[in-house]
A = this chain, B = another copy of it.
Amino acid sequence: MAVRGAVPEVIWARPERTGRGPKPAYTRDDIAAAAVRIADAEGLDAVSMRRVAAELGCGTMSLYNYVPRKEDLYELMMDAVSAEHEPWEPSGDWRADLFRVAHATRSLMHRHPWVPRLMSPVYGFSPHALRYLEHCLACLDPLDASYGTKIELIAMLNGVVTTYVRNELDTAERVRALPWSEDEENAMRIAYLGGQIASGAYPRMAAAFREDPGPIDLEAVFQRALERVVDGFAPR
């Protein structure tokens, strides 16, 4: 009896090729790459089984031979982008190495703006995600702490990076679903916010808006956030 449809099994435990029957026309990498290409160009919501199949040039239902559920397609996508994280030799300065990893993750998310939306611990155990985690732990070898603490630190740093970049990209990613332009979206939100502030109901918010911050350097704000998190864990 052939295994049809979804079955309780991680996609990575499924062999790509079993030996019997015709040779598969595509690899998992082909499929993941096609899905990533669509998500990069048209947003995550454009990634449908039909659309990916069309991108590959096969029938919709053929895709289900490779990917039992849409959820598994997301898992392939997240693993594919994790593969962009090429591990390097740790320098011995764990703090600097951690910052380097964080900046690499941020730029990865800028290349693939849908990643923050998909970020979840359940995708943290794909082959390339494990390689990434192992590399982070290698960077932390010089730090004298338990693995439990190190993993807490990595999780928190990843969380902060994700949150931060999500805030950077959120409107940009969601604007695709809007029936109007990003400018109109921003204009209307600012107009409403201005009205609320002017109402006097939120005096501290009003004061915050009056405070002149000077030019905002997103890169600097990000770096500052990273340093604060790391300092909270291991004060210098």
Q: Which A residues have a C-beta under 8 Å from some C-beta of B?
A: 5-10, 12-13, 69, 71, 120-122, 125, 127, 130-131, 133-134, 137-138, 141, 146-148, 150-152, 155-156, 159-160, 162-164, 166-167, 170-171, 174, 177-180, 184-185, 187-189, 191-193, 195-196, 201-205, 207-208, 211, 213, 221, 224-225, 227-233, 235
* Chain B residues with CB under 8 A of A177: 71
Contact A10 B163 (CB under 8 A): no
**How many copies of this chain does one complex carry?**
2
- Pick from B131, B164, B233: contact of A159, CB under 8 Å: B164
Task: Give the distance in Å from the alpha carbon of A232 to the alpha carbon of B218 in the complex.
Answer: 19
Contact A189 B122 (CB under 8 A): yes
Task: Give the distance in Å from the alpha carbon of A160 to the alpha carbon of B10 in the complex.
Answer: 29
Task: Give the distance in Å from the alpha carbon of A233 to the alpha carbon of B221 in the complex.
Answer: 13
| Given contacts A159-B159, A230-B232, A152 and B205 within 8 Å (CB-CB) | no
Contact B121 A205 (CB under 8 A): no
Contact A156 B147 (CB under 8 A): no
* Chain B residues with CB under 8 A of A231: 231-232, 235
Q: Which residue of B lies closest to A185 (CB)?
A: B8
Contact B146 A211 (CB under 8 A): yes
Contact B232 A10 (CB under 8 A): no
Task: Give the distance in Å from the alpha carbon of A108 to the alpha carbon of B179 in the complex.
Answer: 32
| Given contacts A8-B180, A160-B156, A170 and B207 within 8 Å (CB-CB) | no
Contact B130 A155 (CB under 8 A): no
- Pick from B125, B204, B233: contact of A193, CB under 8 Å: B125
